[in-house]
């Protein structure tokens, strides 16, 4: 079938929205009509080349949609089901999956890094040539074909644009606080970077009962949103030293838990420095490929800080993502205000410019 998709041909060039060919789902695969796709910074790291990806490709890893058709042998979803694509499709029964850590499952790593589906081929075509799928989900398109393992069936009563942001931002941010940082009531939290993922981490800190919740960013509007989502103190990192300001707010000690949610060497060091002795430093952002994050070994031992990296919120997808949706439906997670602007697929480059300028908390592309 012919579908409209945003194609990235080369790094450092804009997306080109055009018709591409999408082949029918094969054994174990599902055709999904995409309803909404979030404008996450991680895709932009592939545009800049900071995170390498095979090109040309259809990117987009934060989304939601409705199952349209099934390939042979699919048992876990049916046409009409509402789904969130998982950008790290787990097998469901290996060592890691059984221990509730599906993001560490090796099942789809090879396919994902090659831009293909599980059988090593693509369903996307451009002028008869293979067009790569990002993370086997490729949501910047009207339709996607993905393996059934990459789909999470969700409750049908949640608006699909709100569900989309649970596909990455909410799960990554709230999960980082609850599961990687294991934040407990009354503990002090610092969050460096208040984008879609960082603002979700702020909401996670509020859910966990953290106090104070300190947020640093360089854009005043981001700090205002952070306060709306639960920050009790905000730091404009252009005007104040984040480490000194955090220590001032925590009796000179530093934060019990500090989260880096940007993917930058300088802010990673800042968040580590702003963590108190014996505290937990959680690295959510991924630094450009090949970067080394180094720590002074004497200080490392002496200060006993835990360095805790976090991927996909360290969540158990099929248990925790439905919980986040339930928390939205019961009014405990605010997804309505996280999405501050909606765009058409044709406006994807405008949507990314808005993200880079800091004009949006989270932008979402709606495809209906």
Active-site annotation, residues:
40, 42, 45, 61, 168
Partner that binds at residue 97, options Zn ion, ligand COD, none, CB closer than 5 to 8 Å by kind:
Zn ion
Build a one-symbol-per-residue string for 66-95: x at contacts with ligand COD by CB under 6 A, - elsewhere.
------------------------------
**Residue of 207, 219, 350, 354 that binds ligand COD (CB under 6 A):** 219
**232/234 with CB nearer ligand COD:** 234
DSSP assignment of 202-229: HHHHHHHT-SSEEEEES-HHHHHHHHHH
Buried b (16+ CB within 10 A) or exposed e, 148-166: bbbbbbbeeebebbbbbbb
Token output for 171: 């799960």
Size of the site for ligand COD (CB under 6 A): 28
Q: Is 194 in the site for ligand COD (CB under 6 A)?
A: yes
Binding range to ligand COD, per CB under 6 A, among 23-31, 91-99, 280-288, 342-350: 280-288
Q: Is 265 in the site for ligand COD (CB under 6 A)?
A: no
Task: Give the C-alpha separation, 191 to 198, whole Å.
Answer: 7
**Residue of 70, 165, 197, 351 that binds ligand COD (CB under 6 A):** 197
The Cα angle at residue 40 between residues 269 and 46, in degrees rounded to 5: 80
> Which residues are CB-contacts of 318 (< 8 A; sequence separation ≥ 6)?
102, 152
Partner that binds at residue 134, options ligand COD, Zn ion, none, CB closer than 5 to 8 Å by kind:
none
**Residue of 3, 31, 36, 40 that binds Zn ion (CB under 5 A):** 40
Could you say which residues in the range 342-361 bind Zn ion, by CB under 5 A? none
Q: Is 65 in the site for ligand COD (CB under 6 A)?
A: no
Q: Is 108 in the site for ligand COD (CB under 6 A)?
A: no
**4/341 with CB nearer ligand COD:** 341
**Residue of 66, 218, 265, 307 that binds ligand COD (CB under 6 A):** 218
In the complex, the smallest distance separating the C-beta of residue 307 from ligand COD, rounded to whole angstroms, is 16
C-alpha distance from residue 311 to each of 38, 87, 128, 174, 178 (Å): 18, 11, 35, 12, 13
Helix (DSSP H) and strand (DSSP E) numbers for the chain: 12, 18
Element (H, E) at 22: strand 16-22
Partner that binds at residue 38, options Zn ion, ligand COD, none, CB closer than 5 to 8 Å by kind:
none
DSSP assignment of 228-291: HHT-SEEEETTTS-HHHHHHHHTTTS-EEEEEE-S--HHHHHHHHHTEEEEEEEEE-SPPSTT-
Task: Give the C-alpha separation, 321 to 354, whole Å.
Answer: 27
Build a one-symbol-per-residue string for 245-264: x at contacts with ligand COD by CB under 6 A, - elsewhere.
----------------xxx-
In the complex, the smallest distance separating the C-beta of residue 198 from ligand COD, rounded to whole angstroms, is 5
**85/181 with CB nearer Zn ion:** 85
Q: Is 46 in the site for ligand COD (CB under 6 A)?
A: no
Q: 276, 303 in Cβ contact below 8 A?
A: no
**Residue of 37, 70, 168, 235 that binds Zn ion (CB under 5 A):** 168
Q: φ and ψ at 133, to 5 degrees?
A: -100, 130
Element (H, E) at 325: helix 317-329
Q: In 10 A of CB 319, how many CB atoms?
A: 10
- Interface residues with ligand COD (CB under 6 A) are 40-42, 45, 168, 172, 192-198, 216-219, 222, 237, 261-263, 267, 284-286, 355, 358
- Interface residues with Zn ion (CB under 5 A) are 40, 42, 90-91, 94, 97, 105, 107, 168
């Amino acid at each position: 079938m012919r579908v409209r998709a945003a194609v990235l041909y080369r790094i450092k060039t804009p997306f080109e929205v055009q018709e591409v060919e999408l082949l029918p789902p094969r054994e174990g695969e599902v055709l999904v009509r995409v309803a909404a796709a979030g404008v996450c910074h991680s895709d932009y790291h592939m545009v800049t080349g900071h995170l390498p990806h095979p090109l040309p490709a259809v990117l987009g890893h934060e989304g939601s949609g409705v199952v349209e058709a099934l390939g042979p042998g699919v048992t876990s979803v049916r046409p009409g089901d509402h789904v969130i694509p998982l950008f790290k499709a787990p097998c469901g029964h290996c060592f890691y999956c059984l221990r509730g850590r599906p993001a560490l499952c090796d099942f789809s790593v090879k396919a994902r890094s090659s831009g293909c589906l599980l059988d090593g081929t693509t369903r996307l075509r451009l002028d008869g040539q293979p067009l790569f799928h990002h993370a086997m989900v490729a949501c910047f398109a009207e339709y996607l074909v993905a393996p059934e393992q990459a789909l999470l069936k969700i409750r049908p009563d949640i608006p699909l644009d709100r569900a989309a942001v649970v596909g990455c931002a909410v799960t990554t941010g709230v999960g980082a606080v609850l599961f990687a940082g294991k934040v407990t009531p009354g503990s002090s939290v610092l969050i460096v970077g208040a984008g879609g993922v960082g603002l979700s981490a702020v909401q996670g800190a509020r859910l966990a009962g953290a106090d104070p919740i300190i947020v640093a960013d360089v854009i005043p509007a981001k700090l205002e949103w952070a306060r709306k989502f639960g920050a009790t103190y905000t730091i404009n990192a252009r005007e104040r030293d984040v480490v000194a300001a955090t220590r001032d707010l925590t009796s000179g000690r530093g934060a019990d838990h500090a989260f880096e949610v940007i993917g930058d060497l300088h802010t990673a060091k800042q968040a580590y420095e702003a963590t108190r002795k014996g505290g937990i430093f959680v690295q959510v952002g991924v630094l450009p490929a090949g970067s080394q994050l180094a720590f002074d070994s004497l200080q490392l031992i002496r200060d006993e800080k835990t360095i805790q990296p976090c991927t996909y919120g360290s969540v158990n997808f099929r248990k925790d993502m439905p919980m986040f949706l339930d928390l939205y439906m019961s009014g405990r997670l605010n997804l309505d205000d996280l999405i501050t602007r909606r765009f058409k697929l044709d406006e994807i480059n405008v949507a990314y410019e808005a993200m880079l300028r800091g004009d949006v908390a989270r932008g979402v592309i709606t495809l209906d």
